[in-house]
Structure 1
């Protein structure tokens, strides 16, 4: 049986995307994304809880992120979880779990006040993003 590895997030960028160009002129972008959930606790008080996610975008999506996204941009990201591991300079094994974005919708308002629902889909670019790449490009 096949598994399902699907993530859908709506949140704000915690900083401008970091862009790196790898061998073969492959662009990769990385940024933190904050998602906030608000709920009432037992006393009825509203409580906000923010989770931070590391998002990685490849190729065309990375180039779009560089051009259009900035700190605080509101985006919808659809992708999959990927956990990488490597040994640091002291030989200690490190792990990181990231969201590899496959679809991106910018949700910020345009300057004229209308919603910017620009949708970018990179499903045709699946595969190969792990080929000949350093374990931690950032």
Structure 2
């Protein structure tokens, strides 16, 4: 049986995008995304948790992100998880989980440059890798709240 590696996140940028070029000339942009979750605990109090996610965007879409997004801009990111491992200068093993974006949608709102639409204009350019083909719509499923143990991960 195959595996699935799909991530869809909506949040706000924690910093301005950092645009750079690789030695091979490819354009890449690193984004920080804050994804908020609100829920009521057992005492009925509203709890807000924020999960901070590093996102890497490649190619033309990386250039668009650097041009149009700023700290605080709302964005929807579709991509896949990537696990990186390396050795620190001190010799210790380090690791990091990040999202490699296949598509970034610029959403209107605070920090997005305004606009009446739900999405900006330059967001539909595909990233370096094409998105997988669309699947036929599935029947709606009842959503259940995430167990508290799972929420502690972010």
Which residue does 1:74 correspond to in 2? Answer: 74
* Pair 1:31–1:112, CA change in 2 (3 A): closer
Which residue does 2:126 correspond to in 1? Answer: 122
TM-score, scaled relative to structure 2: 0.75
Which residue does 1:38 correspond to in 2? Answer: 38
CA distance in 2, matches of 1:39, 1:46: 6
Q: CA deviation at 1:121?
A: 4.1
Unaligned runs of 5+ in 2: 131-154
* Pair 1:116–1:24, CA change in 2 (3 A): farther
Q: CA deviation at 1:122?
A: 2.1
Which residue does 1:131 correspond to in 2? Answer: none
Which residue does 1:10 correspond to in 2? Answer: 10
RMSD: 1.8
Which residue does 1:28 correspond to in 2? Answer: 28
Aligned length: 126
Unaligned runs of 5+ in 1: 128-138
* Pair 1:112–1:91, CA change in 2 (3 A): closer
Q: CA deviation at 1:36?
A: 0.5
* Pair 1:10–1:91, CA change in 2 (3 A): same
TM-score, scaled relative to structure 1: 0.83
Whichever structure has more strand as a proportion of its residues is 1
